[in-house]
Amino acid sequence: MKTWKKVLIGVGAVLVLGIIVAVTVYQSQKNLVTVQTGKVQKQNLASVVSASGEIKPKTYVNIGANAFGKIIKLHVKEGDRVKKGQLLAQLENVQSSADVNATRASVQAAETDAVAGDAALKTSLADLNRAKSDAAHAKLDWDRAQGLYKAALIAKQDYDVKKAAWESADAGLAQAEARVAQARAQKDSMDKHITQNQANLTRVSDVLQKTTYEAPFDGVITNLPVREGETVVIGIQNSPGSTLMTIADMSVITSEVKVDETDIVNVHLGQPADVTIDAIPHKVFHGIVSEIGDNAIVRSTGVATSQATSTSQEAKDFKVVVTLTDPPADLRPGLSSTAKITTATRSSVLSIPIQALTVRTQADLVPKDAGKGNNNVQAAASAPVEASKQKEEIQGVFVIRNKKAEFVPVDTGISGTTDIEVTKGVQEGDEVITGSYKVLRTLKPGTSVKIDNSAPKKEDES
């Protein structure tokens, strides 16, 4: 055989072999899916609920107008620190002071009348005692005269005189008793006048006191919207009154935040929280949950559901108050803040990346080659799942075993920032598929996979 024929045969054999290898590689790569993976590992987890709100003092009060009048003196300015009982503002009080003085004079006059009435009562009692004595003496003379007259020892004239004297003394006794009753009634009336005037004095004194405003506790003047010379009014129905100032006790500072209704069930009193304040960047303050609201608040309106006139399907929040344990001295009410509340912690627990968690139905878990084969075991394995269970969702992860994706149901615990606790289903060291999202959404059990943990390209949002 000629040399060129041998070369041609050799080249042909190489080409055929190359084609066979290429076809084999293509077929092997045809159904291969590229995935990113992560490891099942033990680590410390903390479940955190994040919410936004604002800084507020735990104790503050808006001092509103208690009377109608003009402000004649403001003794403080915004930002001043005040002590309990310190004078804050003074309203015009000419009329109320005059009313107090007049009513106090009326009380004194009523008290004087009561003293005179008491003396009159004592005089009436003395007259009553004298009348009783006279009546008793006349009665004795009358009784004695009756016995003597029956024995014919005295004349009829003397008998009549004794009888008239007794009747006069008895009438005087009745008159003295009536005067005592009258004096008692007058004394009671005078006492009632004292009580009435004292009540009036209390009323006008309260009106006068409401023209003077004192600090209810130690604090800081955080708001002073009025000026000297302005006229303030008290509130009436559907019309709020004038607010003179706001005093805040800055010794206890809180961050009042709104927690989403889906997270509030995990928030409890005493849980620790980290608070950041927009005005003080790069610094974290510590606190604890001190108050949890019972009523939901509609997010769009800020109105509590208990006050709403109709039901709403809008998103709702709950008020949560976090008391700061280390507030700075220059903190101001109203500053925007964010609280990260630690609702649960776990030490050295199995965890996986959150994005590895996926959901499949019973129908999705039927193997692709189910129904093939003639033996009874294969037939039983490929029996159709009951229709009622085909739509049942199962939570799990895809674990790589023998270069294939195997779906494993898992039970989960708390969620951290990027990882979630797994209580059942996987073991430490297992390699689970974490992405991409498109792959996890459509991946089938038993699919051959190729691991590529290099930085993923940005996926098309579609």
pLDDT (tens digit, 9 = 90+) per residue, 274-290? 999 999 988 999 999 99
- Please check whether residues 197 and 299 belong to one and the same domain: no
Q: Is residue 249 part of a domain?
A: no
- Please check whether residues 396 and 427 belong to one and the same domain: yes
Give per-residue pLDDT as tens, 343-364: 998 899 999 999 999 988 887 7
pLDDT bucket at 108, cuts 50 / 70 / 90? very high
Say what the pLDDT of residue 284 is.
93
Within 151-280, where are the H helices? Answer: 156-209
- Please check whether residues 407 and 302 belong to one and the same domain: no
Q: What is the mean pLDDT of residues 10-32?
A: 61
Residue 116 or 235, more confident: 116
Q: What is the separation of C-alpha 65 from the centre of its chain, rounded to a whole number of angstroms?
A: 26
CB 339 within 8 A of CB 274: yes
- Please check whether residues 319 and 354 belong to one and the same domain: no
The model's pTM? 0.63
Q: What is the mean pLDDT of residues 249-262?
A: 91
- Please check whether residues 143 and 186 belong to one and the same domain: yes
- Please check whether residues 359 and 259 belong to one and the same domain: no
CATH of the domain at 384: 2.40.420.20
Q: How many beta carbons lie within 10 A of that of residue 164, not counting itself?
A: 12
Q: Is residue 461 part of a domain?
A: no
- Please check whether residues 314 and 290 belong to one and the same domain: yes
For the chain, the domain total comes to: 3
Q: What angle do CA 190, 194, 197 make, to 5 degrees?
A: 130
**DSSP line for 142-153:** HHHHHHHHHTT-
pLDDT over threshold 50, residue 115:
yes
Q: What is the mean pLDDT of residues 408-420?
A: 89
- Domain range for 41: 32-46+349-451
Work out the mean pLDDT of the chain and round it to a whole number.
84
- Please check whether residues 385 and 429 belong to one and the same domain: yes
Give per-residue pLDDT as tens, 422-446: 998 899 989 999 988 888 888 888 8
Q: Is residue 243 part of a domain?
A: no
pLDDT bucket at 4, cuts 50 / 70 / 90? low
Count of H-run helices and E-run strands, the chain: 6, 20
- Please check whether residues 102 and 56 belong to one and the same domain: no
CA distances from 68 to 96, 208, 212, 216, 218 (A): 11, 11, 12, 21, 26
pLDDT bucket at 447, cuts 50 / 70 / 90? confident
Say what the pLDDT of residue 21 is.
54
- Please check whether residues 99 and 202 belong to one and the same domain: yes
Structure-token pair, residue 303: 């109105």
Q: Is residue 223 part of a domain?
A: no
Give per-residue pLDDT as tens, 86-107: 999 999 999 999 999 999 999 9
